[in-house]
Chain A
Amino acid sequence: MNNPNKHKKNISKLHKEKLGMDIPDDFFASSKKTILNAVIQEEKPKQTIFWLTPRFAYPIAASIILAIAFTFWIQNNNSNKSNEITNTKSIKTKDSNLDDDFLIRSLIVSDSEMETYLDNYLINSIVIEAELSEQQLENIFINSVIIEDSLIDSYLDKSLIENIVL
Chain B
Amino acid sequence: MNQEVELIKNLKNPKFKNKAFKDLLDLYQERLYWHIRKIVITHDNANDVLQNTFIRIFNGIQKFEEKSTLHTWMYRIAYNESLRFLEKSKIKNTVSIQDNSLEYIKNLTEDSFFNGNELQLKLNKAISELTVKQKRVFQMKYFDDLSFRDISQILNVSESTLKSSYYSAVKIIEEKILMQC
A contact set with B: CB distance below 8 Å? 1-2, 4-5, 7-8, 11-12, 14-15, 18-24, 27-28, 31-32, 34-36, 38-40, 42
Contacts and interface: CB of A to CB of B under 8 A. Distances in A.
Nearest to B18: A40
Given A28-B30, A36-B25, A4 B59 contact: no
B73 to A, nearest CB: 12
Contacts of B47: 27, 31
A34 B145 contact: no
Interface in B14-44: 18, 21-22, 25-31, 33-34, 37-38, 43
Interface in B110-128: 113-117, 120-121, 123-124
Nearest to B121: A20
Interface residues of B, number: 41
A22 B51 contact: no
B37 A42 contact: no
Contacts of B38: 15, 19
B113 A19 contact: no
B55 A22 contact: no
Contact of B113 (A7, A23, A35): A23
Given A19-B123, A24-B113, A31-B50, A1 B29 contact: no
Contacts of A19: 38, 116, 120, 123-124, 143
Nearest to B118: A20
Contacts of A7: 31, 145
A18 B30 contact: no
Contacts of B30: 8, 11-12, 28
Interface string B57-69: 0110000000001
Given A4-B27, A38-B55, A42-B59, A20 B34 contact: no
B121 A28 contact: no
Contact of B51 (A4, A15, A31): A31
B31 A1 contact: no
Contacts of B22: 32, 36
22 contacts: A1-B1, A1-B4, A2-B146, A2-B147, A4-B31, A7-B145, A8-B30, A15-B37, A19-B38, A20-B117, A20-B120, A21-B114, A22-B43, A22-B115, A27-B47, A28-B29, A31-B33, A35-B50, A35-B51, A36-B21, A38-B55, A40-B18
